[in-house]
Amino acid sequence: MNAKFQQRKIGELEVVELPGDPSIGAIVLLHGYGADAFDLSPLNEVYKGPTWIFPQAPLQIQFSAGYTGQAWFPIKMELLMRALREDRLDEIPDAFPPEIEQACSWVEEMLDRLDIPRSKVILGGFSQGAVLALETAFKSIKPCGGLLIFSGTLIHEKNWRELAPLHANTPFFQSHGSTDALLPIKKAEELEKLLINSGLKGTLHKFHGGHEIPRSIHLKLAAFLEQLFR
């Protein structure tokens, strides 16, 4: 690990942290299913100044190939694969558990323990991490300074439609691959529509690719963060 990173525990979560100027703010990114805290850490190169924090999901999962990874909450993978295989995209949310309060509480407690006002904290994540970031943000009474949604999807639609308007005017950055075979772009487009209709301010940046964060998105993210923090 690069020496500039630090590891510590905030609340119940172990985090990888790149300290910055606390007066600028912080960017908190939640990794995806099966990854770990280091997975998104290269994104710190996109924008210098704020503190970057990459929490580690506490749940360990075992894959059939024999390797392990971390997860924020279990996903019904067989149901998800069937929905994709049979082109029944409306069933994708059913693969996510109806309640993810425990994971939300871990993230909320970590945010509360930061010595940075929530209005200066940008919360986001990739895939499962993006879903958890949205769920946490919408349920919190403390609005964050912005949302970063990489390859996320729309779940808990009824609840999100009720909660998202309480966070109107929150800036968001969303990206998704047009050929994403795991979480199809159609659901990302539905999510963007929900966010905009709820009064949040942002755009879905589509790219030709799959379940990833390509270099082209890094450049657009840098521009978004420059606008947000200036």
**Residue pair 229/24 in contact by the 8 Å Cβ criterion:** yes
The pLDDT of residue 221 is: 98
What confidence tens digit (pLDDT) does each residue in 106-139 have? 999 999 999 899 999 999 999 999 999 999 999 9
Q: For residue 7, how far is the Cα from the chain centroid?
A: 20
Angle value at C-alpha 36, between 132 and 146, nearest 5 degrees: 40
Question: Quick one: tokens of 27?
Answer: 């960017």
Total residue length of the chain: 230
Neighbours of 110 (CB within 10 A): 19
Instruction: Give yes or no for residue 1 having a pLDDT over 50.
Output: no
The pLDDT of residue 65 is: 67
Q: What CA–CA distance (Å, rounded) separates 230 from 188? A: 28
Neighbours of 12 (CB within 10 A): 13
The pLDDT of residue 198 is: 98
Instruction: Give yes or no for residue 185 having a pLDDT over 70.
Output: yes
The packing angle between helices 101-113 and 128-139, to 10°, is: 70
Instruction: Give yes or no for residue 143 having a pLDDT over 90.
Output: yes
Instruction: Give yes or no for residue 66 having a pLDDT over 90.
Output: no
Number of H helices, E strands in the chain: 6, 10
DSSP calls for 21-37: -TTT-EEEEE--TT--T
Residue 9 vs residue 63, higher pLDDT: 9
Q: Is 86 exposed, middle or buried (0-12, 13-18, 19+ CB in 10 A)?
A: exposed
Provide the edge-to-edge strand list for the sheet that holds 51-55.
6-10, 13-18, 51-55, 26-30, 121-126, 146-150, 171-177, 201-207
What confidence tens digit (pLDDT) does each residue in 76-105 have? 878 888 887 788 878 887 878 777 889 999
Q: What CA–CA distance (Å, rounded) separates 230 from 223? A: 11
**Residue pair 145/43 in contact by the 8 Å Cβ criterion:** no
As its CATH architecture, domain 6-229 has 3-Layer(aba) Sandwich (3.40)
Q: What is the mean pLDDT of the chain?
A: 92
Region 213-222: mean pLDDT is: 97
228 secondary structure, DSSP code: H
Phi, psi of 38 (to 5 degrees): -80, -15
Region 164-173: mean pLDDT is: 97
44 secondary structure, DSSP code: G
Query: What separation, in Å, do the N-terminal and C-terminal C-alpha atoms of the chain show?
Result: 30
